[in-house]
Amino acid sequence: MTLAAWPALKPAKGAVVSISGNSALFLHAPYAAVATINAAIVALAKAFSDRGIRDGLQVDSVLPGPVMTGRRRSYLQHGEPLHDMTVKEATASFPKEAGIARYGEPEEIAELMAFLVSPGARGLTGSALRMDGGEVKSV
């Protein structure tokens, strides 16, 4: 999609924001496939940002952490028999285990993305911004 949109974005000095996930930087063996895909998304955005500098486009990526989406709810429901706990129990226990205060909200990710395409963020390009509630403990 980025390649298809590039010709229209170029004269507009537009912006591209890719969504990855914090598993690109925060690896867990059971999610190795997802982590690999997320890392590839970040790398692709970084590569496009180099081209964007030449063409006057901004390219960044957002790496959400645990966000309460329909996908997350489905994951919790399907995990109920595997983890021998109710959805309510799993929903309550995960933030503590992940070292976060709460799940993020989809609107918070949308607000970050809106900022990234705003004039105030034009100096950001090639950046991978985590919004993970502090789940990733590394620098």
pTM, two decimals, is 0.89
Q: What is the pLDDT of residues 38-94, one digit of tens each?
A: 999 999 999 999 999 999 999 999 999 999 999 999 988 888 788 788 889 989 998
- Alpha-carbon distance 103 to 64, whole Å? 10
Is residue 82 one of the residues assigned to a domain? yes
Within this chain, do residues 118 and 95 fall inside the same structural domain, yes or no?
A: no
Residue 10 lies in a domain: no
Range of the domain at 47: 15-65+104-139
Check whether residue 61 and residue 108 sit in a common domain: yes
Number of structural domains the chain divides into? 2
Check: CB of residue 116 under 8 Å from CB of residue 17.
yes
Q: Is residue 4 part of a domain?
A: no
Per-residue model confidence as pLDDT tens digits over 84-120: 888 899 899 989 999 999 999 999 999 999 999 999 9
Same-domain check for residues 97 and 61: no
Residue 1 located in a structural domain? no
